[in-house]
Amino acid sequence: MSRSLNEVETIAWKATRGAGYPWGIAEEAAAAIRWLAGRGIDGCLQLASLLERTDGSKLEDWSPDPGEVWSAPGGVLCPLMAGAALSDHARQLLQRPLEFGQMASSVLFLPFAGWAAARIGANLQVTWSGGSSLTDGVGLALQGDPGWDLCGVMVAVSGDVPESCPGASRAFPDPQAWDRLNEFARRVHAPASETSRRFGAGGADGIDDD
């Protein structure tokens, strides 16, 4: 079943909040899923996988620590947290590449590279074991394996020009992933419990379905 870009953005926001991510990261996750869907990539499948992996854990364990290689204390980076770090340090790319350690569902990192490219006015190449992408923030060219999971990532300025992507007005999310995202999203509206209070779900943080 196809979904509108607004629908995938909304479910991504709710699901990410329901899984315990801060408001700002949930908004960026929603925008990232929409960005991917607009380029024909089903980010819902990858977001559902990520939320299942991080559910119930401390987000600090998934967040990047700066260094020669940005890595997570828990050993695997969350692409949303790594993407936020890339956004904050995008201008460093004008001096040198930025390298990130092993990352979960790394395709979710690509929108952040696109936004960084637009912010600094340069084309950015993202490379990983077995593949690469090139973006200027609008166009996106993928080569090789899309790098879905558990690989290191390098981001660098490139002189190559990405292909322009045809705009897509509908998304075609994996049905099982969509159902799983709905399960996470329902936590936002669920009555407060010990678990939901710990994750910040329920109460005023929810948004209406309308």
- Do 74 and 155 fall into the same domain? yes
Residue 126 and residue 46 in one domain: no
Alpha-carbon gap, residue 22 to 44, rounded angstroms: 19
Residues 157 and 72 occupy one common structural domain? yes
Q: Clarify whether residues 72 and 126 are in a common domain.
A: yes
Q: 172, exposed or middle or buried, with CB in 10 Å at 0-12, 13-18, 19+?
A: middle
Domain hosting 95: range is 60-164
Domains in the chain, number: 2
| Pair 65, 133 in one domain | yes
Query: Of 203, 204, 187, 153, which Cα lies nearest the Cα of 16?
Result: 187
> Do 96 and 153 belong to one domain?
yes
Per-residue pLDDT of the chain (210 residues; tens, 9 = 90+): 789 989 999 999 999 999 999 999 999 999 999 999 998 889 999 999 999 999 999 999 999 998 899 999 999 999 999 999 999 999 999 999 999 999 998 899 999 999 999 999 999 999 998 889 999 998 888 887 766 667 899 999 998 877 666 677 888 888 999 999 999 999 997 554 444 344 444 333 333 333
Q: Is 169 within the bounds of a domain?
A: no
CB proximity list for 9: less than 8 A, separation 6 or greater = 30, 31, 33, 34
Give a yes or no: residue 134 inside a domain.
Answer: yes
Distance between CA 119 and CA 181 in Å, rounded? 30
